[in-house]
Amino acid sequence: MSLVLVANRAPIRPTPDGWAPSLGGLASALLPVLEDRGGAWVAMREPDEDTPLTQTYPPDAPAFTVRRVPLDAPEYQAFYQGMANRVLWPLAHYLVEHVEPDRTFREAYRAVNRRFAHAALDVAREAGETAPTFWVQDYHMMLVPETLRAGMPDARIGFFWHVPWPASEVFRILPSARDLLRGMLGSDLIGFHTEGYAENFRESARDLLGAEIDGETVVLDGRRCRAESHPIGIDVARFEGLALAPDAAALADELRHDFGGVQIVLGVDRLDYTKGLLLRMEAYERFLERYPERHGEVTFVQIATPSRTGVPAYDRLKRDMDEAAGRINGQFARGAWTPLHYRYQSFDQPELAAFYQAADVAFVTPLRDGMNLVAHEFAAVSGARADAGGRPGALVLSELTGAADYLDGALLVNPYDADGLARSLADALDLPEPDRRARLARTQAAVRDLDVHAWARRFLESLDEG
Ligand code: ADQ
């Protein structure tokens, strides 16, 4: 049975030499599945993008179709920058003060979701399918399953929710909460990163729609939809490979040298207010105030990739981060020592792996995060290096991430507690090597178990069996 994926982003991108897979875990996990099963991937075409509406891939031996849904500028603003990024995203992360409910956003979201669903139905019909498997991804597409179900009642429909599902009392703040839930319940199976999120979802369906809950299944109007935990991971082999590449150790040494040969604390994030970046900076400030004897012995390297520019809250965060970075270096820098290196830029994966390898401590402190793959990537790289005789790194991880449920061996922290963060940072820097090594080995084992290829396989097996 062929597979039709519906996701905001396309799995392939144009490069100077033709087409290549998009970076990121989702494309790397799902492209092999699509190549194997055949089918299609339906994604958005942004207003300024010049890509074909339909193409087959790979070009030399076509295995599946990429179908794009073209959005004009007002639709993109209201559906993507608006409803997805200014309403659903902050709500899922409990950051209610950032939620900006707006009727135009809501209407555009409904219209665009309908177009995505019809594009998916069309591509299935063109392939002669009457009961394909659809797999819809994330909070951009909540209303898609309902339309798919109406168009193809016998299809199998899976949905994966990549961010936290908040408590029912928080979700109900949305004026369209009930419609959105009904939209998702067109699915047969909805996957979440943790059992806690799945439970919140079932409670929302019970509280807001009066649905019946039967174990993991939500029953509404006689239809059954399971809500299960299916934690995602990374492409472990890829990151371990990057850690062991011939020039990887040399690159990491070069970075350590560039940063002054001191202990390195590392942060890697999209520049997003959910990632706890400002509080992390404050916590580091607290650390420097409290432990003056460590001045000159440690540096904090924060790399933040530009994200969702043009959304006011993100532009504001960018300014606040610049200010915090200036303040910290202005107050604490002495002689040749720079306490903080802040880079507002994106790096390719081999470079990122060098940073992970160079770090003594990864400082991962989101205010909320569905999973958090940076923690996985760090443990995979640092772990592979340690296995090959290198120095093991320590992971300080927010307890408000999905990853905290799984990554045994991490030092868990409350990201809102600046004093606690400062103390944990000092503890992590002081962890004796055997202890670090043992903790990292436990984290590494968890990361391997959650490999993204296993995630896709487990989800699709559950969908097929259900
Ligand atoms: P994100 O919010 O994007 O994902 P995360 O899981 O940490 O968060 O993934 C970020 C990715 O971006 C990582 O692969 C990382 O390497 C990369 N990245 C970050 N900063 C970078 C930089 N400066 N340069 C280059 N690459 C950078 C959403 C959810 C998460 C969930 C994933 C997958 O918010 O909770 O884990 O989807 O479901």
Q: Which atom of ligand 1 is nearest to the CA of 268?
A: 20
- Which residue is it, tokens 């659809």? 134
The stretch 331-345 carries a mean pLDDT of: 97
**Alpha-carbon gap, residue 157 to 162, rounded angstroms:** 16
pLDDT tens figures, 244-263: 999 999 999 999 999 999 99
Mean pLDDT (the chain, rounded):
96
Partners of 191 in beta bridges: 160, 228
**Alpha-carbon gap, residue 10 to 77, rounded angstroms:** 18
Helices (H) and strands (E) in the chain, counts: 17, 18
- Report residue 29's pLDDT band, with 50, 70 and 90 as the boundaries: confident
Q: Are 28 and 3 in contact (CB under 8 A)?
A: no
Q: Are 148 and 186 in contact (CB under 8 A)?
A: yes
The runs of H, that is alpha helices, within 359-451 are 373-387, 418-430, 433-449
> For atom 35 of ligand 1, which residue has the closest CA?
370
pLDDT: which is higher, 446 or 20: 446
The stretch 301-312 carries a mean pLDDT of: 94
DSSP single-letter state for residue 53? S
Specify the 3-state DSSP secondary structure of 394: strand
Instruction: Mark whether 50 is an active-site residue.
Output: no
Residue 55: both structure tokens together: 């193409």
Q: Are 205 and 177 in contact (CB under 8 A)?
A: no
Partners of 143 in beta bridges: none
Element housing 15 (H / E): strand 12-15
**Alpha-carbon gap, residue 202 to 260, rounded angstroms:** 51
pLDDT tens figures, 261-282: 999 999 999 999 999 999 999 9
> For atom 19 of ligand 1, which residue has the closest CA?
269
**Alpha-carbon gap, residue 97 to 91, rounded angstroms:** 9
* Least confident residue range of 32-36, 131-135, 201-205, 398-402: 32-36
Residue 136: both structure tokens together: 């819809």
Q: What is the pLDDT of residue 380?
A: 98
Q: Are 87 and 100 in contact (CB under 8 A)?
A: yes
**Alpha-carbon gap, residue 7 to 9, rounded angstroms:** 6
Q: What is the pLDDT of residue 23?
A: 79
Q: What is the pLDDT of residue 32?
A: 86
Pairing of strands 54-57, 64-70: antiparallel
DSSP single-letter state for residue 87? I
Pairing of strands 18-21, 12-15: antiparallel
CA distances from 131 to 128, 182, 244 (A): 9, 21, 44
Q: Which atom of ligand 1 is nearest to the CA of 348?
A: 25
Specify the 3-state DSSP secondary structure of 301: strand
**Residue percentage of the chain with pLDDT more than 70:** 100
Please work out whether the CB of residue 377 comes within 6 Å of at least one atom of ligand 1: yes
Burial of 52 (0-12, 13-18, 19+ CB in 10 A): exposed
**Alpha-carbon gap, residue 363 to 286, rounded angstroms:** 15
Q: Which of 94, 161, 374, 405 to mutate to test the pocket of ligand 1 (most atoms within 8 A of CB)?
A: 374
Q: What is the pLDDT of residue 24?
A: 76
**Alpha-carbon gap, residue 363 to 344, rounded angstroms:** 17
- Cis peptide bond N-terminal to 58, omega within 30: yes
Q: Are 158 and 189 in contact (CB under 8 A)?
A: yes
Please work out whether the CB of residue 163 comes within 6 Å of at least one atom of ligand 1: yes
Q: What is the pLDDT of residue 273?
A: 97
The stretch 317-328 carries a mean pLDDT of: 98
Please work out whether the CB of residue 346 comes within 6 Å of at least one atom of ligand 1: yes
Count of CB atoms within 10 A of residue 310's CB? 9
Nearest alpha-carbon partner for 68 in 112, 124, 29, 116: 116
Contacts of 169 (CB under 8 A, 6+ apart): none
Please work out whether the CB of residue 271 comes within 6 Å of at least one atom of ligand 1: no
> For atom 3 of ligand 1, which residue has the closest CA?
270
Contacts of 222 (CB under 8 A, 6+ apart): none
Exposed e or buried b per residue across 365-381, where buried means at least 16 C-beta atoms within 10 angstroms of its C-beta? bbbbbbbbbbbbbbbbb
Please work out whether the CB of residue 268 comes within 6 Å of at least one atom of ligand 1: yes
The catalytically annotated residue of 93, 140, 162, 193 is 162
Query: Phi-psi region for residue 55, left (φ > 0), alpha (ψ -120 to 50) or beta?
Result: beta
Exposed e or buried b per residue across 94-111, where buried means at least 16 C-beta atoms within 10 angstroms of its C-beta? ebeebbeeeeebbebbbe
- Which residue is it, tokens 């936290």? 164
Asked if pLDDT for residue 179 goes beyond 80, the answer is yes
Asked if pLDDT for residue 158 goes beyond 70, the answer is yes
Instruction: Mark whether 162 is an active-site residue.
Output: yes
Nearest alpha-carbon partner for 173 in 151, 204, 142, 196: 204
Domains of the chain: 3-233+452-465 (3.40.50.2000), 236-449 (3.40.50.2000)
Asked if pLDDT for residue 1 goes beyond 70, the answer is no
